[in-house]
Chain A
Amino acid sequence: MSCEACRAAFNHLPAIERAACVHAASSECCGCERYKAAENSPGQITDDETLHLIISDPQHLLNGTELNPVLAMQIDRGGLSTVRDAAADNEFVITLNELQQRPGQVERYFHGMLSFRAATVRYDEGRRFVCIYDTALPGKPNHSDLMAPPYAGSNREKKRAEKARLKRLIDLIGPTFLSAARFRNGAFMQYARPPAPAIEAVNE
C-alpha cells in the first residue's frame, strides 16, 4: 500500500468501480484513510468531524428526512460524496454550482443536508463499517467520500449483504435532514428550489 496507489484508486475510472479499486489498493480495511487525495487536503478525517451530505433531489430522501437507498448505494460504487464541516461557505458554493450546472435531465436544487458525525458511520457496534476517505478536489479541499469494503461470496449473497448494509447505513445516519433554510442560517438559499408561482400567475 502506498499514497500513490491510493491516490490512483481515488481517481479510478470508470467511477462505478472506484470503491472496489480503493479497497484493493490497501491490504487492510479502509487503509487508504491514512492518505490525502491531494496536497490541498486538511488531512485524515477524525471521528469527531461532522460530515454533510448534500441533497439535490428530493427523491434522495425517504419520508423527507432519511437517506434513500438509491443514493446510499454510491458507497459500493463511486463513493458517496460528503463535505467536511470545516469547509468554508465558498466551498459549498462551488459544489452547489457544479451540481446545478451538471448536464442531464434531473433538475438539481439545494434541498438541504443530512449531517452526521464521522464516527456514526465509520463504526457499527465497535466494528469498522464504512470507510471515510479524504478525497480533496481542486477548489474543494474538504471533499470526502464514504465507501464500503466489497463483500465476497456469491452474487446473490453479495447483493443481500450490500442491501442489508445500505439499510444499516440509513439507520445509522438517521433522520438528520436539515433544510436549505436552516443549514448555516440559509446561507445557500439561492440554490434552493424557487417557490411555485401562484395559481393566478400561471393562468395569466
Chain B
Amino acid sequence: MTAVALESSPSHLHALIGRLLATLASPNVAGETSPPLSSFNVPFHPPINDGWLTETLGRIERYRTYRRGWDGMEAPTPEPGSLTTAEYLASFFAAWPVSRRPQLALDMDGFPTFAAKSNEFYLHLTVEQTNILTWYAIVSGAEYFQDGVAFDGTALPIELAHFAD
C-alpha cells in the first residue's frame, strides 16, 4: 500500500525530481555522481511536468524498496547506486523524442533496464553496476553493442547520445 501511495502522489514525485536536480547541481555528494549542470554536453532542460519522467522516477523510487526475492523468486536486491545511475539516465532520456524514450523495468538480476522498440529502433540497455552501462541496439538496421561503458551522470556516452537522433 505504501508503494501505491508513493506512486500516486504528485507532490512526492515533484520532490523526487527536485532531489534529482539538486543532486545534479551539488558537487561531491558521497557515493553518488554529482556533476554540475554546466558540465552537460547536451542541452538539458529538465521537463518537470513530463509524464514519462515522472513515471520513470516514481518507478525507481518504488524499486528502492525492493528486497531480495522481490519478484517472488530469486531476484537480488537492486543496488541503490544502480538505481541512482538509472535516475541520471532518465534525465537524459527525457530529452529524447517520445518515440525513442525507453521503458524502465528491473530484470531478474535486479539490474535497472531500459528498453525500447519501434520499426527503426531497438534498445536494450542495462545498468549492471553503479555508473556502468551495457547496451545492445539496432538503429536503422545497424547493430551497436557496448559492454561496461562508464557513465558518471554528466553526459551520455557519445554513441548512446546519438541514438536520440
Bound: A122/B118 CA distance, A? 24
Whether a CB of chain B sits under 8 angstroms from the CB of A201 is no
Q: What is the distance, in angstroms, from B47's C-beta to the closest C-beta of chain A?
A: 21
Closest to B66 in A: A105
Bound: A74/B108 CA distance, A? 8
Residues from chain A with a CB closer than 8 A to the CB of B136 are 160, 163-164, 167
Chain B residues 135 to 151 lying within 8 A of chain A, measured CB to CB, are 136, 138, 143, 145, 147
Whether a CB of chain B sits under 8 angstroms from the CB of A41 is no
Decide: A104 near B73, CB < 8 A? Known: A160-B136, A164-B136: yes
Q: What is the distance, in angstroms, from B133's C-beta to the closest C-beta of chain A?
A: 13
**A60:B105 contact, CB within 8 angstroms:** yes
Whether a CB of chain A sits under 8 angstroms from the CB of B91 is no
**B134:A159 contact, CB within 8 angstroms:** yes
Q: Interface readout for B42-62 with A: 1 if CB under 8 Å, 0 if not?
A: 000000000000000000000
Closest to B136 in A: A163
Total interface residues in chain B, CB < 8 Å: 28
Bound: A159/B103 CA distance, A? 21
Interface size class of A (residues with CB under 8 A): 20 to 34
Bound: A167/B124 CA distance, A? 9
Whether a CB of chain B sits under 8 angstroms from the CB of A24 is no
Which residue of B67, B74, B145 contacts A16 across the interface (Cβ within 8 Å)?
Answer: B74
Q: What is the distance, in angstroms, from B132's C-beta to the closest C-beta of chain A?
A: 13
Main secondary structure of the interface of A (DSSP, over half): helix
Q: What is the distance, in angstroms, from B14's C-beta to the closest C-beta of chain A?
A: 19
**B70:A163 contact, CB within 8 angstroms:** no
Bound: A68/B103 CA distance, A? 9
Interface residue stretch chosen among B27-35, B109-117, B156-164:
B109-117
**A70:B147 contact, CB within 8 angstroms:** no
Q: What is the distance, in angstroms, from B130's C-beta to the closest C-beta of chain A?
A: 19
Whether a CB of chain A sits under 8 angstroms from the CB of B16 is no
Question: What are 20 pairs between A and B in contact, CB < 8 Å?
Answer: A15-B74, A16-B74, A16-B108, A66-B117, A68-B105, A69-B107, A70-B107, A70-B115, A73-B108, A77-B108, A102-B73, A104-B71, A104-B72, A104-B73, A105-B67, A108-B72, A159-B145, A163-B145, A164-B143, A167-B136
10 additional A-B residue pairs with CB within 8 Å, beyond A104-B73, A163-B145:
A15-B74, A16-B74, A59-B103, A59-B106, A68-B105, A69-B124, A103-B72, A159-B134, A164-B136, A164-B145
